Structures are given as C-alpha cells and as structure tokens.
C-alpha cells in the first residue's frame, strides 16, 4: 500500500541522484537490436515516468560495468563491490516486502540474509572465504548471476507487482524497461546482455526456441506481449493476469538455465575435466532464482538440486547423465506448469547438437532416487545423503556393456568407446586421486594415473593417429590390446567398467570419508561409496556386489543366497555410516580386505579355467582376458608383499606377451592358489573358500608348492637359469609322473584312469595342439597321417583291443613311453623351435620352457627326457666321468644356456640343432637297446612282448627323422616292422639290423657309445629288402586302420612321402643329422 509506494518513491529519488546526466526520454521504445522483434512503448504520462524509465534503463548499464570488471583478470573485487554499493545495493535491499515473490524468497533464504539475501550472497562471493565461495572462477559466476539474474528478476517482478496493485502504468513501464534494458537500434554495445531479455536470448539459442525469422526467444516474445497487454489493461485485475504470465516465464527461463548447467557438469565429468566448480557455481546461481518455487512444488526435488549445485561439497562423479536426467525429472515434478513446449529441446543433449562423442541423443531413464533405501540380499542401507549420482554408475555400466561385441570393425570400436565416454564411466576412471593410498599404489604399479581408461582405450584403438601435412589427426580404431583376440578384449572391457573402475571409485569415496573433518561431507562420501558398491535395483547385476555374489557361489562361501563377503561388506558400510573418522577408517579396512577376497577368488577361478581350456584343447583367450583384468584389480597389493608371485600371475594372464599360456598337473591353479594364499594371509584365507570342481590333492595336499623355475633349475649335469618363471613347464614332469602312476602290468591297467589322467593333467591338450609351421611337427604329422599321433597311440594302448595291444605290460609301456618320451620330445622341440625364431623376451620364454620341460621338477625328475638320457648313458657307457650324468645331458644343458644368451637367430638355431642331435642320440640308444632285448628274449625263450612295446614307443620318437636319411626308408620300415606289437618278431639279428639303419644317421660314435653286455658280430648283415611287407596290416599309424595294401608309415610311405618332406625341411634336417 502506501508504505510500498513511499519506499518506491525513495528508490527513484536515490537513483536519480546517482545519474550523472540523465537523458530524459518522453517515449520508451524497447525494440531490441532491430525493429523486427517485440517492442514496448512507454505510456509517457509525465516527467516522473520519464525519470522512472531512465533509472530502470541505467540498471542494465550498472550491471554491465560490473561484468566488465569481472571479465578482466585479475579481478579487483573491491572495485566490483564499490560498483554494487554505489549503484545496485539499495535496489537489492529496498524491494517491497508485500510483493509475494519477494516475500517467498525472503522466507526461503531466511538463514542466508533474509531480506538482504541478494547482498548476503553477493558479499560471500566477494569475500571468497565462506565454504563454497573460495574458488575464483566460481565467485565470478556467482557475482554476475546475482546482479544480472536474481536481482534483475526481482526488480522486474517488484515493479510489475506494484504497478498492478496501484494500477500505475508508469511503474509498469519501469518493469518493462528493467526487463529489456538499454539498447539502441543498430547498436551492439552489449548492454542488452546484462538484462533478463539478454539471458533469455541465450537460453533460447540453447533450447531451440528462437523465432526462425526474428531470432527472438519465445520467453521474450511471451513476456513483452504480456507487458504490452498489462500496459493496455483496463484495471489492476487484468494487469495481475499479465504479471503472472511474466512470473511464469521466469520459471521457464531459469528452469532452462538450471537444466543446462546440470548437463554441463555431466559433460565435463564425462570428458575428464577436473575444474568443475565454476559450472556448479553457475548452476547454483541460476537455480537460486527459482529454488523457492521448486521447493513449494516438491521439497525433495529442491533438496536434490540444491545438493547437485552445492559448491561447498566435492563434486559427485556421476555417470549415465545423472545430473541432467535427475534435474530434468526434479524440475518437471516441482514445476509441472512449465511445459516441454515452453522449455524447448536442449540442443546439447539431442542429435547432431549433442556434446556426446557420437552426437547421439541423451535418453533419460528414470534416474535413481537420491536418498531412498538401497536394498540388497545382504541387507538394506539407508543413505542420509544424496547418492543418486553414485547409484547411476551401475546404470551406466549396464548401458555401456550392452555395446560390447566381438566384432572388430572401426565402427564397433568407435561406438563402444563413445559409450564409455558418454555414459561418464571414463570420467570416473580418470579422476586424479593423488594422495589416496590405493590410488597411489595402483598408479605407481601401472605407471600412469589413467591406467584404467588407458587399457580400455587400447581395446578400442582410440589412440590418435598423428596429423600429417595434409590430414588432421584421426583415430585409427584398431585395437592395440589383444589385437587378435576379440573375446579377450570384450571381457576386459566389461570387467574394467563393472569391477576395476568401480572398485577404485568405491575405495576413493570411503578413504576421503575417513579423513574428512566436515561431518556432512564425510557422511556424503561414505554414503556414495556404499551406493557405488551396491548400485540400483535395476542394475544391481552390474556392480561389485554382484561380482561377489557370483564368486561366492563358485567357492561355496555363500549363506543361502548371499555371499558372506557381501554380508561383511554391507555390515561394514552400516557400521561406518555417520560415524567419526576413526570408525570409518576401521570399516574401510574391512571393506578393502573383502574386496581383495573377491578378486583373489576371481583370479584363481580363471587360472583354473585356462588350465581346463588347455587340457581340453578349448579356446582360452576369453578366460585369459577375464583373469587378466580381475588380477589387475589386486595386482599392486600382491606385488607389495610378494613381487615374485605378482610376476608369476601377471605373466600367466598376459594377453599381449606373445606367449601362449600353459599348465600341467594343475600348475596354474596350484601356483596361483599359493600366491593368493600368501596375499590374503592367515586372516582372510578362510574367506576364500574352495573353488568348485577342484580338489586339494591337485596341489599335493598343501605340502609341496607348485614347481617354480625361480631362481634356477639345478641338476647334477649343470644349472639353467630362465629369464622368467616357467614352473608351468617344469610341472610337465609332474604330470607325466601322475600318468605313470595310473598304469601297471596288471590286466586291469592301463584303463580309463590313465585316459583321465592323461587329459586332466594337461598333457593331451598340449600335445594335441596344432603347431602348423613348426618344421618337425609338420614332418611328424605327415609321417603319421595325423596331428594327434601321440594321443592316438595312448588311447589305443589304454583301450587294449587292437591287435598287439591286449597284453597289459605292453600297453603300460606304450602309455608310459608315449607320455614321458614322445609327448615330451614333441613339446620340448616345439618350444625350442619357437624360441629359436627370434631373440625377443617372448622368444626367450619359449626357449626357457623347452629347457624346463627337458629338465623337469624335483618331484618329477624321474619322469623326464633328462632321466631317460641318464638311463641310456648307463647302458651305453656315455656317462660323464665327473658327474656320472649322461654326456647327452651335459651337452643339452650347454646348448640350452648358450642358446639362451644368443643374440642372433642363427646362433640360437645352431644350439637348437645341437639339442636335436642329442635327442636323436638318446632315442637311437633306446631303440637299439630294445632291439637287442628282443634278441635276448627270443634266445632265452622268454616273452618278448613288453620289450617289443617299449622299443616301439621309443622308436616312434625318432622314426620320421631316421627315415629321412638317404637310402634309409627301407631300413626305417624294417625297424617299424620288428617293433610293431601286432607282429611276432623272428630271428636274433634285430640288434645288428637296427644298428645298420641307425648308423646311417651318422651320429657321433662317442655320443652313441657302446651297448653294455655281449653283443653279436654284425659282419655281413643286411636289412631285408622290401621291409614294408613285414609290417602287419594293422598299421602302425595309431588309431587308424589302413586300406588293404596300404601301410601308413611303411617303407612305401617313407620312400614317397619323405621325398616331399625332405625337400621342405632340408636345411634344418641336414644339421640335425
């Protein structure tokens, strides 16, 4: 009433004095920039009205002067404050208290200045000392939005409210002038950007609500139309209708502004920007303009938005566009009268205008409720803070995982990487958490603060291709991590998002809570860590909680349907909630320990899965990728207490090492199990449980550790020091020992037990692996007509139904020698061949593996080629005089060590050939010995079958090589015939004839030695012509039945097929001989 009118008159008097030279106008034309947009003409009632307009127009100039000071760094805040005090403070504090909008705001901000809430906020930003007001960029935004937007709105609304209350058209003119501000036709001096009109123009551009012809924002068109209608209104009631139209448009405008900055925070987080306070501050300052109305409409929505823009607390690293979607939902709920048509469509989240890397539209699902109960099978957690942003992480994982595919096109790689960024997951991964103990440990281990996103980027090929003189920098979208194994990449991508990034974010929140003095912030950090761990009901399956559930059921560590790990973790979250720092620190330790259990379980599970893959000949890449990424989640912890164990596990899972994994006798399971047990320690090992489908006896009942090649492999004939731990290869001898233990001379064995052991220990899977391109492997495959010749013979012997394979002792010998000798030689030679193809670290691993398989473990020493060489040396007088070990073993160890340090392929290949020569010696000795034993059996009238079978198994180790020697195909056929278990040997000249054939290899006589005992005189002996005719129809080709008249591996096959093989491998074979 009268008091307000008097107060308004006082304002005009004060401001009139402030005008140094007020240019009075009789007509106010508010046409903006040009004459095509909406305009307002003042009523020009009298000189007072004219002065009223001058005062109002000057406000925009005063605001611009403050903006100009803020635009020049360093900001002189004393100048800003002086301008405010001189020109705007009285307006901010003298607004009529009966105006409903002002009264609402005054009550809403009662604890923040009350009637002086505008000045109070302004002063806090000027001082820069209050919580939330210390960031320089934030202060600038707070000041600008306070004087332009908050003050500007209230000056307009107050003038219009007074005008309608008094039916005063001059005051109505003043409101219009305050809304539009000073602007002259053709002049672009920027003053109009210092008014509500200018703000609305900006938002109209953001939301697509600019008129196609005039370029005017819809908000401005509606407001100026209402201003004109109010000016022309017949009475106060009609003016009030137009006042309410203007007030509603303010709600529209600042809903646009609030939502825009919610999205800008999402964008900055997703793009890994770290300085977000200015965005929060802008959003806060804009939101304050409508906060009381939002609270009237829905108090929880108001609390959510206040928390979202709270500059006094750390930024919540949201995902899945949470801030935008949550803000949009909150505004729609609290201000339902603001329609989508009025708001327009925000270009930065839609189609081509989107900030997202692939320019896709952001689609909002129902955002997580920010403070609702988080319900899990392990218990309910009730946050006291807003945790929607953290809950949304699980939703982001669900979205991004849906885009993972084994396809390897540039398009699929780009789409997945864009999803990784657009969902905000990369932003969460790249947070610099320097100073936090877990982050410091992991960053040091991986050599980067962005190790998480770096590995993901490597799976999609998002590393840039450098620009050239003619082309800009581009992204190749060719994977550099596991480039040939899409399944491994897919697993890394999936687990990286669900597990590794999430775990680091959880631990980060909890650590920050445990050291935070401010109770509100401390509790918020703790609640957010819990939310990230548990996720939403819709996406709980995409959380660390879900991973714990899966592993618990693998390890029997569940109580009913709940992982014991989750029971402990949820209990720890609840025990730490709302407590002091020390309590939180203690509960963080519990949670960290249980997370270690989860990923120790996962690591061990995939070590075993790979062992099963290798044993069954299945593809292992996918499991290797999974094991690798799971182990990454605990590797720095493991290394801290067990560097050797870390190297072992890391090497086993290393997808990009260029080395295939291997495991014999459950080595990978047992070796990794020992590392995990040491890592967890006595306190946590009980939480680990026992992996399904495994038994303790695999690992020697916990007494003997799995073999290790560190630091060296020691034998009586010499020492070999591998570059890495190749205990997996040493375990081959353990596997052989296990298989040997399943057979005996009784008729009941060998049987299915031998078959099972041969497969389960990994020997069958390894020896059956196709190694096309390896010279000797190709040779043997051609000779035997099968890529699985060793396994075929083992199965033939264990089955025991084929001709010559029904005698138990013979079958046992074939199984034992096929495994200990034939399989071993193939694997040893294969490793050494691969190792000799280069001199890189990967080549060295293969060379080391060959050495380890040859030498074996302490436990399996009697089941090695090394042991076989010692036995034959004893028979042939070729033991070293000092060590009493076989000279062949001394020669092999010398060659292994020399080859290991060779710096050229030629030098290492020479040592490879030296080793092949010694292997020929060993098995030539064995073959000749058993030919002699057959002669002895026949002479004595004793059963020859066992010795014949042994000779057969030994002979097969070198048969293809012997047959390659010029004019020796018939001789090889002869040896095949006399040892074939399906044929009854006759005569007693087997020794002499076999010696004739073997001598054609021209092996050094000193290496071969002389067989012990009384030897026959071989003078005048000759190998029968057409020896292939002696070979039984039941072909020596294991597991196959030849067509009538064909003998696989016979002289005919040696003579014809070996012509081809000889030509293919002439160079290497010549050195071997």
Dist. CA 376–CA 531, nearest whole Å: 11
Q: Tally Cβ neighbours within 10 Å of residue 724.
A: 17
Tens of pLDDT along 141-175?
Answer: 999 999 999 999 999 999 999 999 999 998 999 99
Closest CA to 597 of 697, 689, 460: 689
SS3 527: helix
User: Are 272 and 420 contacting, i.e. CB atoms less than 8 angstroms apart?
Assistant: no
Res. 1062: pLDDT tops 90: no
- What's the whole-number mean pLDDT along residues 806-818? 93
Residue carrying structure tokens 């590797």: 635
User: Are 414 and 460 contacting, i.e. CB atoms less than 8 angstroms apart?
Assistant: yes
Dist. CA 897–CA 911, nearest whole Å: 9
Res. 1035: pLDDT tops 50: no
pLDDT of residue 64: 93
Dist. CA 799–CA 761, nearest whole Å: 19
- What is the residue-wise DSSP string for 719-776? EE--SS--HHHHHHHHHHHHHHTT--SSTT-SSHHHHHHHHHTTHHHHHTS--TT-HH
Banded pLDDT at 1060 (limits 50, 70, 90):
very low
Closest CA to 597 of 578, 574, 569, 627: 569
Which residues does residue 720 pair with via DSSP β-bridges, in sequence order?
Answer: 713
Tens of pLDDT along 564-602?
Answer: 999 999 999 999 999 999 999 999 999 999 999 999 999
Banded pLDDT at 12 (limits 50, 70, 90):
very low
pLDDT of residue 710: 75
Dist. CA 134–CA 974, nearest whole Å: 95
Percent of the chain whose predicted confidence (pLDDT) is above 70: 89
pTM (2 d.p.): 0.88
**Residue 1049: C-alpha distances to residues 380, 1054, 1056, 1059 (Å):** 72, 6, 10, 13
Lowest mean pLDDT among 48-62, 636-650, 908-922: 48-62
Task: Decide which of 829 and 808 is more confident.
Answer: 829
The distance from CA 996 to its chain's CA centroid, rounded to whole angstroms, is 62
Segment holding 558, helix H or strand E: strand 558-559
- What's the whole-number mean pLDDT along residues 1039-1048? 31
DSSP symbol at 174:
H
pLDDT of residue 95: 62
Q: 379 — phi, psi (to 5°)?
A: 140, 170
Res. 127: pLDDT tops 70: yes
Torsion angle of alpha carbons 251, 257, 263, 265, nearest 10°? Answer: -120
Banded pLDDT at 370 (limits 50, 70, 90):
confident
Closest CA to 884 of 715, 734, 758: 715
pLDDT of residue 1039: 34
Banded pLDDT at 1073 (limits 50, 70, 90):
very low
Torsion angle of alpha carbons 717, 718, 722, 727, nearest 10°? Answer: 40
pLDDT of residue 41: 85
Which residues does residue 381 pair with via DSSP β-bridges, in sequence order?
Answer: 374
Res. 40: pLDDT tops 70: yes
SS3 989: coil
Sign of CA pseudo-dihedral 407, 410, 416, 417 = positive
Structure tokens at 387: 């945790």
User: Which distant-in-sequence residues (6+ apart) come within 8 Å of 800 by Cβ?
Assistant: 750, 806, 808, 811
Q: 1031 — phi, psi (to 5°)?
A: -75, 130
Res. 961: pLDDT tops 90: yes
The distance from CA 658 to its chain's CA centroid, rounded to whole angstroms, is 20
pLDDT of residue 394: 97
Res. 685: pLDDT tops 70: yes
Lowest mean pLDDT among 469-473, 976-980, 1033-1037: 1033-1037
Q: 924 — phi, psi (to 5°)?
A: -70, -45
Dist. CA 968–CA 970, nearest whole Å: 5
In the chain the first and final C-alpha atoms are separated, in Å, by 118
Of the ranges 50-64, 84-98, 467-481, 527-541, the best mean pLDDT one: 527-541
Sign of CA pseudo-dihedral 27, 32, 33, 38 = negative
pLDDT of residue 1048: 29
pLDDT of residue 369: 87
Segment holding 176, helix H or strand E: helix 169-180
Tens of pLDDT along 411-458?
Answer: 999 999 999 999 999 999 999 999 999 999 999 999 999 999 999 999
Residue carrying structure tokens 């069958």: 764
**Residue 446: C-alpha distances to residues 441, 442, 633, 842, 996 (Å):** 9, 6, 11, 20, 62
Structure tokens at 1001: 């290899």
Residue carrying structure tokens 């590393």: 463
Count, in order, helices (H) and strands (E) of the chain. 48, 8
Tens of pLDDT along 729-776?
Answer: 999 999 999 999 988 877 766 677 888 999 999 999 999 999 999 999
Q: Tally Cβ neighbours within 10 Å of residue 35.
A: 11
Closest CA to 238 of 248, 228, 249: 228
Res. 20: pLDDT tops 60: no
Task: Decide which of 1058 and 471 is more confident.
Answer: 471
Dist. CA 605–CA 599, nearest whole Å: 9
pLDDT of residue 706: 74
Residue carrying structure tokens 């270009």: 347
pLDDT of residue 43: 82
Could you give the maximum distance between any two Cα atoms of the chain, in Å?
A: 145
Structure tokens at 720: 């070999």
Res. 1071: pLDDT tops 50: no
- What's the whole-number mean pLDDT along residues 863-883? 97
The distance from CA 577 to its chain's CA centroid, rounded to whole angstroms, is 30
Reduced 3-state DSSP string for 846-888: HHHHHHHHHHCCCCCHHHCHHHHHHHHHHHHCCECCCCCCEHH
Tens of pLDDT along 177-234?
Answer: 999 987 644 445 445 789 999 999 999 999 999 999 999 999 999 999 999 999 999 9
Dist. CA 999–CA 218, nearest whole Å: 102
pLDDT of residue 2: 45
Closest CA to 99 of 158, 164, 171, 175: 158
Task: Decide which of 250 and 12 is more confident.
Answer: 250
Dist. CA 104–CA 288, nearest whole Å: 12
Residue carrying structure tokens 């990923």: 599
pLDDT of residue 303: 95
User: Are 823 and 842 contacting, i.e. CB atoms less than 8 angstroms apart?
Assistant: no
DSSP symbol at 193:
G
Res. 662: pLDDT tops 90: yes
């Amino acid at each position: 009433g009268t008091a307000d009118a008097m107060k308004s008159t006082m304002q005009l008097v004060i401001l009139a004095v402030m005008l140094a030279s007020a240019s009075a106008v009789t007509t106010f034309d508010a046409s903006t920039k040009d004459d095509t947009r909406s305009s307002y003409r003042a009523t020009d009632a009298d000189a007072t009205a004219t002065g009223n307009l001058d005062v109002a127009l000057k406000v925009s100039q005063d605001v611009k002067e403050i903006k100009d000071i803020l635009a020049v760094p360093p900001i002189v805040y004393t100048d800003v404050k002086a301008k405010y005090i001189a020109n705007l403070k009285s307006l901010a504090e003298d607004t009529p208290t009966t105006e409903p909008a002002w009264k609402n705001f005054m009550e809403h901000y009662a604890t923040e200045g009350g009637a002086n809430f505008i000045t109070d906020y302004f002063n806090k930003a000027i001082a820069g000392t209050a919580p939330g007001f210390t960031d320089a960029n934030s202060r600038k935004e707070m000041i600008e939005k306070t004087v332009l937007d908050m003050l500007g709105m209230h000056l307009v609304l107050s003038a219009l409210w007074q005008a309608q209350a008094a039916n005063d058209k001059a005051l109505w003119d003043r409101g219009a002038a305050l809304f539009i501000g000073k602007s002259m036709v053709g002049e672009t001096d920027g003053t109009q950007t210092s008014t509500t009109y200018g703000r609305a123009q900006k938002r109209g551009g953001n939301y697509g609500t600019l008129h196609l012809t005039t370029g005017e924002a819809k908000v401005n068109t509606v407001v100026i139309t209402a201003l004109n209608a109010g000016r022309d209104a017949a009475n106060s009631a009609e003016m009030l209708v137009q006042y309410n139209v203007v007030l509603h448009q303010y709600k529209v405008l600042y809903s646009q502004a609030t939502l825009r900055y919610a999205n800008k925070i999402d964008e900055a987080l997703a793009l890994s920007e770290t300085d977000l306070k200015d965005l929060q501050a802008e959003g806060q300052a804009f939101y304050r303009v409508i906060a009381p109305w939002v609270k009237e409409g829905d108090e929880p929505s108001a609390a959510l938005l206040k928390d979202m823009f709270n500059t006094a607390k750390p930024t919540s690293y949201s995902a899945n566009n949470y801030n935008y979607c949550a803000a949009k939902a909150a505004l729609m709920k609290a201000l339902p009268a603001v329609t989508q048509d009025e708001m327009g469509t925000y270009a930065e989240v839609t189609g081509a205008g989107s900030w997202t890397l692939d320019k896709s539209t952001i689609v909002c699902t129902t955002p997580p409720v920010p403070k609702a109960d988080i319900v899990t099978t392990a218990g309910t957690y009730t946050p006291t803070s807003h945790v929607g942003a953290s809950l949304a992480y699980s939703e982001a994982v669900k979205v991004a995982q849906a885009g993972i595919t084994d396809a390897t096109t540039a398009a699929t790689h780009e789409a997945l990487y864009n999803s990784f960024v657009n969902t905000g997951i990369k932003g969460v991964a790249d947070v610099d958490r320097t100073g936090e103990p877990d982050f410091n440990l992991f960053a040091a281990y991986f050599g980067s603060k962005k190790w998480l996103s770096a590995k993901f980027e490597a799976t999609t090929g998002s590393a840039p291709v450098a620009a050239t003189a003619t082309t800009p920098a581009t992204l190749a979208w060719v994977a550099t991590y596991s480039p040939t194994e899409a399944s491994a990449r897919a697993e890394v991508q999936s687990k990286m998002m669900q597990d590794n990034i999430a775990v680091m974010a959880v631990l980060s929140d909890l650590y920050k809570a445990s050291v935070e003095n401010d109770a509100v912030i401390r509790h918020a950090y703790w609640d957010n860590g819990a939310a990230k761990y548990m996720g939403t009901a819709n996406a709980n399956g995409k959380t660390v909680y879900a991973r714990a559930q899966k592993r618990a059921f693998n390890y029997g560590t569940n109580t009913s349907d709940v992982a014991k790990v989750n029971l402990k973790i949820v209990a720890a979250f609840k025990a730490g909630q709302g407590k002091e720092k020390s309590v939180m620190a203690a509960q963080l330790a519990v949670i960290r320990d249980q997370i270690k259990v989860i990923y120790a379980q996962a690591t061990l599970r995939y070590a075993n899965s790979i062992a099963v893959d290798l044993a069954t000949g299945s593809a292992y890449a996918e499991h290797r990728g999974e094991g690798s990424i799971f182990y990454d989640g605990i590797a720095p912890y493991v290394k801290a207490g067990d560097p050797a164990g870390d190297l072992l596990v890391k090497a086993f899972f290393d997808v990009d090492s260029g080395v295939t994994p291997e495991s014999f006798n459950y080595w990978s399971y047992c070796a990794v199990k020992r590392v995990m047990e040491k890592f967890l320690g006595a306190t946590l090992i009980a939480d680990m449980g026992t992996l399904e489908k495994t038994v303790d006896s695999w690992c020697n009942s916990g007494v003997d550790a799995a073999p290790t090649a560190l630091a060296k492999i020691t034998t009586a004939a010499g020492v070999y020091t591998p570059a890495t731990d190749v205990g997996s290869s040493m375990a081959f001898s353990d596997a052989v020992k296990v298989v040997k233990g399943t057979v005996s001379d009784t008729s009941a064995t060998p049987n299915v037990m031998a078959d099972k052991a041969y497969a389960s220990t990994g020997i069958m899977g390894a020896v059956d692996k196709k190694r096309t391109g390896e010279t000797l492997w190709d040779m043997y495959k051609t000779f035997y007509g099968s890529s699985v010749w060793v396994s075929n013979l083992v199965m033939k012997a264990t089955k025991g139904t084929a001709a010559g394979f029904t005698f138990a002792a013979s079958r046992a010998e074939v199984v034992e020698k096929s495994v200990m000798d034939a399989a071993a030689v193939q694997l040893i030679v294969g490793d050494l061949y691969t190792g000799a193809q280069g001199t890189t670290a990967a080549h060295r691993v293969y060379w080391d593996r060959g050495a380890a398989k040859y030498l074996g473990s302490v436990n399996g020493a009697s089941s090695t080629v090394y042991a076989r060489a010692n036995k034959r040396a004893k028979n042939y007088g070729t033991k070293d005089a000092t060590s009493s070990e076989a000279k062949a073993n001394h020669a092999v160890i010398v060659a292994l060590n020399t080859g290991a340090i060779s710096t050229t392929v030629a030098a290492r290949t020479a040592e490879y050939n030296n080793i092949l020569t010694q292997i020929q010696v060993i098995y030539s000795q064995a073959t000749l010995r058993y030919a002699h034993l057959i002669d002895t059996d026949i002479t004595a009238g004793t059963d020859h079958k066992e010795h014949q079978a042994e000779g057969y198994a030994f002979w097969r180790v070198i048969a293809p090589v012997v047959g390659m020697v010029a004019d020796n195909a018939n001789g090889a056929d002869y040896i095949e015939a006399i040892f074939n278990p399906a044929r009854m040997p006759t005569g007693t000249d087997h020794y002499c004839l076999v010696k004739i054939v073997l001598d054609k290899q021209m092996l050094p006589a000193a290496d071969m030695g002389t067989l012990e005992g009384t030897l026959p005189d071989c003078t005048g002996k000759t190998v029968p012509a057409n020896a292939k005719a002696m070979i039984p129809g039941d072909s020596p080709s294991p597991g196959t039945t030849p067509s009538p008249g064909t003998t696989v591996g016979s002289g005919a096959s040696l003579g014809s097929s070996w012509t081809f093989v000889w030509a293919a491998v002439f160079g290497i074979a010549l050195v071997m001989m």
